[in-house]
Amino acid sequence: MTTAFERLSPALQYQIVNELGFGGLRPVQEAAAVTILDGHNCVVLAPTAGGKSEAAFFPLISQMDSASWTAVSVVYVAPIRALLNNLESRVQRYAQLVGRRAFKWHGDVSATDKKRFIADPADILLTTPESLEVMLMSRKVPAERLFAGLRAVVIDEIHAFVGDDRGSHLAAVLERLSRFCGRDLQRIGLSATVGNPADILRWVAGSSKREGRVVDPGGAKREPAVAIDWVATLPNAAKMIARLHPGKKRLVFVDSRRRVEALGQALRAEGVDTFVTHSSLSVDERHAAEKAFEEGQNCVIVATSALELGIDIGDLDHVIQIDAPPTVAAFLQRMGRTGRRASTTANCTFLATEDKGLIRAAAIVRLFRRGFVESVAIPTRAAHLLAHQLMAMTIQHEGGVPISDWWAWISSATPFQGLTETDRRDLVDHMLGQEILFASAGRYSLGARGEKLYGWRNFSELYAVFSTPQTLRVIFGSQEIGHIDALFAQQETQEKLSFILGAKAWRAVHIDWKEGIVRVEPIGDGNLARWQGTPELLGRTLCQAIHEVLVSDSSDAEWSQRAQARLTELRAEYDLPDAGLAVVADGPGLRLWTFAGGRANNLLGRVLESKLGEKVVIDNLYIGFRGQAAQSEAAIRGAIAELRAEGRPNHADALQFAESCARGRISKFQPCLPERLEAEYLAEVLTNDEEARAAVAAMGAPEA
């Protein structure tokens, strides 16, 4: 039987063995190569550093060589620029094995290099969804010529795209690329473990009629080493990290930029060789930190979730998680950074500094032991992004997009499959009525209000689907350190403004508000900076597991003695029933424990507020009642009983109350939506009526 390796072009086979020194292909690479060489779409599952990149590129480069593909023949899409920077040299090396080239295109690449690429395209284009949008919209980029030879698209870390607006945007851009090249593009997704890979495969397929396969080699895996410890404070966590695994390389995940900075500073105070990286540091600062860590030995890098995403920081010995991530999938991705070398074991140590972090860590590990991984929700009614794509195409087409043709460009994109013809007509009519669109001579173009909302800075607001928060660039001499939140800076006078950034303390010496720059000088100590963030909405399954941890009297093997002792105390403090409705005193008010998750509680809380009066406080695990809403426990129990009898909350409730769950505008394209579609969008993003009804039904169980 012919192996996948033997099906590669002879030139590539020779180079893999003699130039790269590979003895053969890994199981995931063998399985993926067969699927890709057979011409199928696929989603390839493997942990970080599991060989996914080679699994995709080897068979594609082989076909470039044997079938004489012309440039650009492959587009590789990654969620972050750092991943492109990290992968560029490796892909370039693989392409050069058979005399081909790769090119990286994103916002940090010079205009000169981009012009050179347009004049003489490389075979493989490495880019982000936003940069692809720029290329399709820009008058300086001949997209129709550039992508005429396109054969395949590789989407790395596809699980990080699918469930959000960037993924919906990417799905639409893929359909536009298919139209430019005039062929059924082969679509290849690379992913860590997810709960619903078949759904992701259908998402990526779009208009493609190719057969699709999920490539999951499985196989025996070593049992990972997982531990949970209770350390109570961030300084104590720094002391523990300093003592854990001396002489080893340690990656520490912290789920906020502010706490990354605090821990980085505390570790340096402990004498630990420490680097920090997060999205508000400049590209140069992040790259320097990651490079120094990669080349070091006895050192620590403290990071936000960005380092989940496949960036190669060299051999890694240990992963440490401060408190807990929001999902089991994130835990698996982070732990997967370890155990790569032969005879080593994947590992993760949780250091809990907060009670909720300790409980969540215990719940995540329990779910992991049961084999649970979250499914990624697949949007199908993304009307706000349909509006975005329509506007983008008015720029893509000189003179505007033909009215009779615009829908054909993107009609097969999965995120729009649930929208009806009526939905599309209502959307366009609203955009015309609001002067966001303008119709003339059989074409749509941007209207006066559309130009005002989205046309500034040469249409930069249409390149990306997310809004960039207002920040100030932090400059020391000629070096850019990173960004701080403008709102944080406004809360202090310039003379008093100091902050930690890059685990170093800075003092503001001049702020240029017009240019968005704060010039700084180093000082001995400073305040922790603050950045705006979005509320964290945990899933119901995780919240139910948290309830299980709190009502159980058992302990798990992963818990340290300190963790066991603290969890025993917490169980006594919470004193929750195993099932049924639990209403307890909560300071001046009352608390209803639901363990239903953020989206369910958003909806249930607003419905209860409408019945009981103001006001309710919403958490992932409970609903708090204050003021008029807290006057009577009997009233709360009665309201829950009424909802159960009525089969509520229902979808109509979600449409009615979703707007009240939002903290400001959720999407910058909301002005494009008529009231009905805006309500449906907010309901999908912020609420879950099915899980809310399940929570109400569970409260009908008899109390323990």
Give the 3-state DSSP-derived string for 1-28, with helices as H, strands as E and coil as C: CCCHHHHCCHHHHHHHHHCCCCCCCCHH
Confidence of residue 664 (pLDDT cuts 50, 70, 90): confident
Q: What is the DSSP string of 88-114?
A: HHHHHHHHHTTT--EEEESTTS-HHHH
Cα 668 from Cα 423, distance rounded (Å): 19
* Tokens standing for residue 479: 């070096």
Average pLDDT over residues 665-675: 93
Report residue 703's pLDDT band, with 50, 70 and 90 as the boundaries.
very low
- Cβ–Cβ under 8 Å, residues 413 and 171: yes
For 653, list phi and psi in degrees, rounded to 5. Answer: -65, -40
Residue 472's pLDDT is: 87
Three-class secondary structure of residue 63 per DSSP: helix
Calculate the CA 175 to chain-centre distance.
22
Query: Cβ neighbours of residue 663 under 8 Å, at least 6 residues apart?
Result: 535
pLDDT attached to residue 316: 79
| Distance in angstroms (rounded) separating the CA atoms of residues 60 and 51 | 15
Cα–Cα dist 353/336, whole Å: 23
pLDDT digit string (tens) for 442-452?
A: 999 999 999 99
**Distance of alpha carbon 351 from alpha carbon 224, whole angstroms:** 17
Instruction: Identify the helix (H) or strand (E) that includes residue 402.
Output: strand 401-402
**C-alpha count within 13 angstroms, C-beta hemisphere, residue 343:** 0
* Other beta carbons within 10 Å of 112: 8
Supply the pTM of this predicted model.
Answer: 0.91
Q: What is the pLDDT of residue 222?
A: 75
Helix/strand/coil for 256: coil
With a cut of 60, say whether residue 297 has pLDDT above it: yes
CA nearest 427: which of 258, 674, 666? 674
| Cβ atoms of residues 511 and 517 within 8 Å | yes
Of the candidates 323, 270, 335, the one whose C-alpha atom is nearest the C-alpha of residue 299 is 270
What is the average pLDDT across 558-576? 95
The model's pLDDT over 73-123, given as tens digits with 9 standing for 90+, comes to 999 999 888 788 888 999 999 999 999 999 999 988 999 999 999 999 999
pLDDT at residue number 110: 93
Distance CA 681, CA 700 (A): 31
Q: Which among 596, 586, 683 has a CA at the least distance from the CA of 643?
A: 596
Distance, CA of 610 to CA of 1 (rounded, Å): 68
- Contact between 385 and 264 under an 8 Å Cβ cutoff? The reply is no
pLDDT tens-place string over residues 606-648 = 999 999 999 999 999 999 999 999 999 999 999 999 999 999 9
- Sign of the Cα torsion 154, 159, 160, 164 reads positive
Helix locations, 441-495, DSSP H: 448-454, 456-463, 486-490
Match 């690449």 to its residue by tokens. Answer: 109
Burial of 703 (0-12, 13-18, 19+ CB in 10 A): exposed
pLDDT of residue 704: 38
Residues 6+ apart with CB under 8 A from 20: 97
What separation in angstroms does the CA of 340 have from each of 32, 130, 293, 314, 703? 20, 32, 17, 10, 48
3-state DSSP assignment of residue 526: coil
Lowest-confidence region among 251-260, 334-343, 575-584, 596-605: 334-343
CA–CA dist 669, 573 (Å, integer): 45
Order of strands across the sheet with 212-215? 102-105, 124-127, 74-77, 152-155, 186-191, 41-45, 212-215
DSSP reduced 3-state for 386 = helix
Q: What's the pLDDT band for 310 if we cut at 50, 70, 90?
A: low
Where is average pLDDT lowest: 147-161, 506-520, 625-639, 685-699? Answer: 506-520
Tokens for 1, please give them: 């039987």
CA separation, residue 51 to residues 221, 250, 340, 342, 499 (Å): 15, 22, 10, 14, 40
Per the model's pLDDT, the better-predicted residue between 220 and 320 turns out to be 320
> CA 36: distance to chain centroid?
26
> Residue 248: pLDDT above 80?
yes
Tell me the pLDDT band of 525, cut-offs 50, 70 and 90: confident
What tokens were used for 557? 């093997």
Q: List the one residue out of 324, 318, 319 whose CA is nearest residue 352.
A: 324
Q: Measured between alpha carbons, how far is 530 from 256 in angstroms, rounded to an integer?
A: 10
Structure tokens at 673: 């939506």
Contact by Cβ (8 Å): 387, 432: no
Mean local confidence (pLDDT), 267-280? 91
Total number of residues shown for the chain: 704
State yes or no: pLDDT of 311 exceeds 70. Answer: no
Give Cα 443 distance to the centre of its chain.
36
Please state, in angstroms and rounded to a whole number, the distance separating the CA atoms of residues 204 and 168. Answer: 10
Q: Answer for the pair 518, 486: CB distance below 8 angstroms, yes or no.
A: no
The token pair that represents 296 in the structure block: 């070091």
Q: Which residue has better confidence, 298 or 59?
A: 59
Strand locations in 116-256 (E): 124-127, 152-155, 186-191, 212-215, 225-230, 249-253
Residue 559's region, left for phi above 0, alpha for psi from -120 to 50, else beta, is beta
Q: Can you tell me the distance from the alpha carbon of 691 to that of 537, in angstroms, rounded to the nearest whole number? A: 13
Provide the angle, in degrees to the nearest 10, between the axes of the packed helices 598-612 and 651-661. 90
